[in-house]
Amino acid sequence: METVTPRYLVDEHRTPTDVVLTIDEWRRVLEELEELEDIRAYDEARSSAQESSPLAAVAKELRSGRGS
């Protein structure tokens, strides 16, 4: 991920309350989050115990009426 330069807003006790990013930085953060979500979904699908079948075999079963 490219570097972001966050700016922090603080309350009267100097406790950080908010973060400010440029719009370009925010868009890059969103893109990275979307990519991470895709990677996690892929990893989850790969680790599932479901057996896969070739598309041609599934189509043949559906046409023959055994797919239900």
Can you give the pLDDT at residue 24?
96
Per-domain boundaries in the chain? 7-64
E strand or H helix at 62, and its extent?
A: helix 55-64
Distance of alpha carbon 9 from alpha carbon 18, whole angstroms = 5
Residue-wise pLDDT tens digits, 8-30? 999 999 999 999 999 999 999 99
pTM recorded for the entire structure:
0.59
Can you give the pLDDT at residue 45?
81
Q: Which of 8, 11, 10, 29 is nearest to 20 (CA)?
A: 8
Residue-wise pLDDT tens digits, 38-63? 999 988 888 876 677 788 888 888 99
Can you give the pLDDT at residue 35?
95
Can you give the pLDDT at residue 65?
79
E strand or H helix at 19, and its extent?
A: strand 16-20
With contact defined as beta carbons under 8 Å apart, do 4 and 29 qualify?
Answer: yes
